Each structure stands twice: as structure tokens, then as C-alpha cells.
């Protein structure tokens, strides 16, 4: 059982285009923060949570593979097309 519960930040290097770095610094300044580490952490947490939700939705969809009637299958396909159009 892991007794390590506190947050120990780890430094790492991430290469960012100048434009993104400038935007992050502007955002941090508006929030009253010295740097943009907090913003990057927040963005990564959101990204990872969304990826987990996507994985769970895909797994749920695979679990019902072959169990939809034609109308349900077409409704699902329409939904997927709409989602994909929004991603672009």
C-alpha cells in the first residue's frame, strides 16, 4: 500500500512554440500567477480526463458491438459523424 499521498512536482522540459508560450504567459499574468505551470497542469488534467472518458465510451461501444438494430446503428453512426465534424 502506497503511503505517498502528497503532491511532489517534478521538473520536466517541454518544448513550446513561441506563440503558445507568449499566450500562456499572458494568461498567467491575467490570473496573477508568476508562471504558467499551473495552467499547463490544469490543461493536462483536463486532457487526461477527456481521454479517459473517450476510452470508456469506446469500450462501452465495443461491448455492444452487434447488439444494435438497424435504426439504433444509424443513430449511433449519425452521432459519431456529428462528433467528428466538431473535432475538426
pLDDT tens, position by position, 24-62: 999 999 999 999 999 999 999 999 999 999 999 999 888
The pLDDT, as a whole number, for residue 4 is 52
| Range from 14-18, 53-57, 64-68 carrying the lowest mean pLDDT | 64-68
- 2 pLDDT above the threshold of 60: no
Using a 10 angstrom Cβ sphere, with 0-12 exposed, 13-18 middle and 19 or more buried, the burial of residue 36 is buried
A 10 A CB-CB count for 68 gives: 14
Q: Which three cell numbers stand for residue 12?
A: 520536466
Under 8 Å between Cβ of 36 and 25: yes
Q: Looking at residue 73, what DSSP letter applies?
A: H
Amino acid at each position: 500500500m502506497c503511503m505517498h499521498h502528497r503532491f511532489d512536482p517534478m521538473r520536466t522540459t517541454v518544448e513550446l512554440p513561441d506563440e503558445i508560450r507568449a499566450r500562456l504567459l499572458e494568461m498567467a499574468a491575467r490570473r496573477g500567477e508568476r508562471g504558467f505551470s499551473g495552467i499547463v497542469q490544469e490543461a493536462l488534467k483536463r486532457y487526461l480526463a477527456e481521454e479517459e472518458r473517450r476510452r470508456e465510451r469506446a469500450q462501452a461501444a465495443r461491448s455492444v458491438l452487434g447488439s444494435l438494430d438497424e435504426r439504433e446503428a444509424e443513430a449511433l453512426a449519425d452521432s459519431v459523424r456529428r462528433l467528428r465534424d466538431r473535432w475538426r
